[in-house]
Amino acid sequence: MNKQIPAFGLGTFRLKGQTVIDSVSTALELGYRAIDTAQIYGNEAEVGQAIADSPTSRDDLFITTKIWTDNFSRDKLLPSLQQSLEKLQTEHVDLTLIHWPSPGNAVPLAETLAALADAQSRGLTKLIGISNFTVDLMKQSVDILGKGNIATNQIELSPHLQNRKVVDYARSQGIHITSYMTLGYGKVLEDPVIQEIASRHQATPAQVALAWAVQLGYAVIPSSTKRANLESNLKALQLKLSEDDLARIATLERNGRLVNPDGLAPKWD
């Protein structure tokens, strides 16, 4: 299952209107084949337009969307995903995630996961997964769906927030890790250790952070609106960090969490 999630994709968080159309179009032109969006981003229709206008075959693409918390109930999840598919102009997505744990457990996790599994059995999504889930929530999810049925947990993860407990548990259950905010809103790029490694490899700090995550086996979904950055980020796949580089980056952990929305965030590990 994990092999199906591409190591490198394009994130579209905070990108709207023509900006997201241009970002997705340029990325596809440069060779990106995985695109990550979400219902709450308010850009699925624009992402769908960019994909429809691209000569890239749908069969070559890996499209991810995420179900928003308002749509977690059994009666809302499927219709909301069908609306997402219409906006994205596709008959199915490749991966559908629960975007956040249900605030205040308003909708039981078992109900949401059952509806998501139903969407998968109907062919609306190839794979299903979770996002921003703690070890405890992953355990509950595995108990509900069974081991091997959760494709990924998409979490904030960077050299400054390495999230090892979550990663270790996910690995033990065959749950792939997708890293978002891998560059830490740019904070990671200013880290002297990252800069020194970049300089030695004649690479950019962004390439080092992304290569680090990919070499650890995570999928990454950096976003950019600039062609030069989209092109440069993709070159992280060619960068091979040494064991020493990885060991040095391992020391940069500082629990530097940047995404912690009130009312949504669970009690983090």
CA-to-CA distance for 146 and 128, rounded, in angstroms?
12
99 is in an annotated binding site: yes
* β-pair type (152-156, 176-180): parallel
Of 41, 169, 180, 218, which is the active-site residue?
Answer: 41
CA-to-CA distance for 202 and 2, rounded, in angstroms?
31
- 3-state SS string over 7-64? CECEECCCCCHHHHHHHHHHHHHHCCCEEECCHHHCCHHHHHHHHHHCCCCHHHCEEE
Q: Name the strand (E) or helix (H) holding 220.
A: strand 219-220
Local structure of residue 74 (DSSP, 8 states): H
| Sign, CA torsion 14/19/20/22 | negative
**137 contact partners, CB below 8 Å, separation of at least 6:** 101, 109, 130, 266
Residue 90, CA distances (Å) to 15, 97, 132 in order: 20, 17, 26
CA-to-CA distance for 251 and 11, rounded, in angstroms?
27
CA-to-CA distance for 235 and 224, rounded, in angstroms?
14
41 as an active site residue: the answer is: yes
* β-pair type (93-98, 10-11): unpaired
Computed on alpha carbons and rounded to an integer, the radius of gyration of the chain in Å comes to: 18
Indicate the annotated binding residues for substrate: 99
Which residues are known to be catalytic?
Answer: 41
Indicate the annotated binding residues: 99
